[in-house]
Structure 1
Amino acid sequence: MKKKVSVIGAGNVGASLAQMIVQSAIADVVLFDIADGIPQGKALDISEACPLWGSSSSILGTNDYSHTENSDVIVITAGFPRKPGMSRDDLLHANAKVVSDVVENTARLSPNAVIIVVTNPMDVMAQVSLKVSGFDSRKVIGMGGVLDSARFRTFVAWELSVSPEDVEALVLGGHGDLMVPMPRFTTVKGIPITELLSKDRIDALVERTRHGGAEIVSLLKTGSAYYAPAAATYQMVKAILFDEKRMLPCSAYLDGKYKTNGIYTGVPVILGSGGGEKIIEIELNEQESIDFEKSVAAVKLLVSKLNS
């Protein structure tokens, strides 16, 4: 019997993710949205592509939460997208209500699921999801670091004219403008980029990574990124479904690690069937610690705004 993934939100990110899962035939998909006809139409379109992909996976488009029952993974992409001039943080209150409703309606039907939160501001929405679901914190994780690291990898590969496959990158902290790309832990076939690029060039790539989402929003004008966010989420879904024990940068609940308590933020995590099974703690130097603390403080501020 195939695994079941429920994707909540049939917008660009959700539909792209659903396509990737079905095309690769790693699970059956339920695509949920409150908009009548949208998930049904997109699911039908994807279903009709399955013979061409050679995929035996099924996809159901629905407006009924009951169809998500007994999901192995629930991915929350529902919410309002960023527009030009908006930060991820501007979406705080509106998306908190959306995410609360989604979790309330899905968690009770799939008590053994792992929840992946994509909706922005993602770290805070993960915190909301944990509180509403009542799940173990390892079963609620946020997608941010995988995407941010992929952007950093892309920019490094372009700068050095190498294959992005050969670049490994690490980005810590909140999924926002104060995220912390880590040049010391970013390598090309094991060679740190600090050995390959000047500090000025590295600093420029770090800044572009921090504003990578806003760059795409400003170009699109009517929406935000979706191909790379969907691909990043797919990597996480696959790691969970196949118990791959992948070490990926994800937003995880810190309860003492990195000198941080009671907050979600991006750190290296071992992803497997149990969700974020283990947080990997690395030694930060003085500047990295300062930057990480600033990023965590920004997430804490948003959480306090939401609770005030």
Structure 2
Amino acid sequence: MVKVTVCGAAGGIGQPLSLLLKLNPKIDELALFDVVNVPGVGADLSHICSNSTTSSHLPSAKEDKTALADSLKNSDLVIIPAGVPRKPGMTRDDLFNINASIVQGLAQGIAETCPDAFVLIISNPVNSTVPIVAETLKKNNVFNPKKLFGVTTLDIVRANTFISQLFPKESKPTDFNINVIGGHSGETIVPLYSLGNSKQYLDKLSEEQQKELIHRVQFGGDEVVQAKNGAGSATLSMAYAGYKLAESILKALDTPNVVECTFLNLDSSIKGASEAKKLVGNLDFFSLPVKLGKSGIEEVQYEILDKISDNEKKLLEVAVDQLSKNIEKGVSFVKK
């Protein structure tokens, strides 16, 4: 029996994400939590003739913690897209104060109710919210770094799509699986186009075209914000990305050698994490390809850092500098 909980299930990301999860045959129970509108979402999804049952959980008052506890009880995997969306002119940093409190409250609920669950963080800014969850779980003495994932999969999805769009006659997005390392905002995002089958396409681009491609991956979210004219940010593509990582984690429970990039805590208990940490400016959190297994993150594939191009090394330096501030912001929020 596999139970998955979505915290923020009635939101712009939460609804399509919940729909995708409802269709997954590996999931037996889907629990939906939100502070508004979630009964309607739950009723709607419950009519779908897939294997999983659906339950919805809405607090009766602001102080009511039972709804969250009920949604999390016996959960194997918790996905958090909760928070306010980015609006035009708003940076991910602007979101921090609002979303940090929301995420911390949900992390506290996980610590008290389902501390052994896999936890996927979508709520922005991921570079700071993942450290917030880690610190909250540490405070409760239940932190397992192998089971905490910052969802950076959307950067990979964009990297695959955007290079394919430059070569529509020769490729399609599913031909690629670009590793994207670093973090999940602006210049902390480092797509590694110089590796794998994307290198042959990258080499066909001028230096200016390469810069434009990388910039588009780093700031792809802005395209959506502008196209929606202030009515929202990336929700459908983000839901797909969150689902893609969740699907891989569930697949890894009974399939060996599943590899995904994720923003993780480079804790020494994870194989390869200490080596990775030395190569990324001693940061405690960083997105790298990891090998997944029954216990979560089994190994960090840090060797990839020795293979990147000189240009990517420069991008990495910028990412490390910015990430250190983002991470510290998250850690300080909990400690204060």
Alignment of 1:156-305 (within 5 A): 156-161=163-168, 162-178=171-187, 179-185=189-195, 187-188=197-198, 192-220=200-228, 221-243=230-252, 244=255, 245-255=257-267, 256=274, 257=276, 258-281=279-302, 282=304, 283=306, 284-305=308-329
Amino acid at match of 1:240: I
Q: Equivalent pairs: percent with the same residue?
A: 29
Of the three residues 69, 87, 91, the one matched with 1:66 is: 69
Q: Deviations along 1:97-134, whole A, 9 cap, x unmatched?
A: 11110010123211211111100110211111111113
Following the alignment from structure 1 to structure 2, what is the Cα–Cα distance between the partners of residues 164 and 240?
22
Following the alignment from structure 1 to structure 2, what is the Cα–Cα distance between the partners of residues 235 and 299?
24
Amino acid at match of 1:302: N
Unaligned runs of 5+ in 2: 59-66, 268-273
Amino acid at match of 2:76: D
Relative to 1, partners in 2 of residues 1:196 and 1:287: Cα closer, same or farther, differing over 3 Å?
A: closer
Residues 1:152 and 2:159 are matched in the alignment: yes
On the 8 A contact 2:128/2:329 being kept in 1, the answer is no
Following the alignment from structure 1 to structure 2, what is the Cα–Cα distance between the partners of residues 201 and 154?
15
Give the corresponding residue for 2:84: 80
Relative to 1, partners in 2 of residues 1:272 and 1:15: Cα closer, same or farther, differing over 3 Å?
A: farther
Aligned length: 298
Unaligned runs of 5+ in 1: none
On the 8 A contact 1:239/1:272 being kept in 2, the answer is no
Amino acid at match of 2:32: L
Following the alignment from structure 2 to structure 1, what is the Cα–Cα distance between the partners of residues 206 and 176?
17
Following the alignment from structure 1 to structure 2, what is the Cα–Cα distance between the partners of residues 288 and 61?
45
Q: Deviations along 1:178-215, whole A, 9 cap, x unmatched?
A: 11111202525xx6323343333222111111110111
Of the three residues 110, 121, 124, the one matched with 2:128 is: 124
CA RMSD of aligned residues (A): 1.8
Q: Deviations along 1:47-103, whole A, 9 cap, x unmatched?
A: 11x13xxx1211111120122111111111111110011111211122111111001
Q: TM-score, length-normalised on structure 2?
A: 0.84
Following the alignment from structure 2 to structure 1, what is the Cα–Cα distance between the partners of residues 319 and 160?
21
The CA deviation at 1:34 is: 1.5
Give the corresponding residue for 2:34: 33
Q: TM-score, length-normalised on structure 1?
A: 0.91
